[in-house]
């Protein structure tokens, strides 16, 4: 892999920021030049969707998921709170409410 440390964003003249700054890594640059920026169709049709799926997703994103899974931290995949999966959360609430109703009606003796 190419050494990312070469690509340090230029410091604009006249800026004296106080905060500590890190050099950009290759990932920082790739995610900007590939994922962001003005997206217009050139004449040379490169199926960037394929490339994004293959190169970016497979090698970078999936790699991170695999690494995490190897480390045994994959529970967030099923955690609606973190995945933002409100549908799963709603389903779960509905199930719980139904159970509560069933329990309450079963408990009523009088």
Which residues form the interface with another protein (CB under 8 A)? 1-2, 4, 6-7, 9-13, 15, 17-40, 42-48, 50-51, 54-55, 59-61, 63-64, 67-68, 71, 73, 75-76, 81-82
CB of 99 to another protein, least distance (A): 24
Which CB sits closer to another protein, 50 or 107? 50
Q: HSE (CB half, 13 Å, CA atoms) of 92?
A: 9
Which CB sits closer to another protein, 39 or 103? 39
The contacts of residue 107 (CB under 8 Å, 6+ apart) are none
Cα separation, 57 vs 39, in Å, equals 19
Contact 65, 71 (CB under 8 A): no
Which CB sits closer to another protein, 65 or 102? 65
């Amino acid at each position: 892999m190419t050494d990312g440390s070469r690509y340090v964003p230029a410091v604009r003249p006249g800026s004296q920021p106080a905060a500590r700054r890190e050099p950009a890594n290759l990932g920082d640059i790739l995610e900007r030049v590939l994922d962001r920026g003005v997206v217009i169709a050139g004449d040379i049709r490169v199926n960037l969707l394929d490339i994004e799926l293959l190169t970016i997703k497979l090698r970078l994103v999936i790699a991170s998921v695999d690494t995490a899974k190897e480390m045994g931290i994959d529970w967030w995949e099923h955690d609606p709170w973190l995945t933002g999966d409100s549908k799963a959360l709603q389903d779960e609430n509905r199930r719980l409410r139904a159970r509560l109703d069933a329990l309450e009606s079963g408990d009523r003796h009088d």
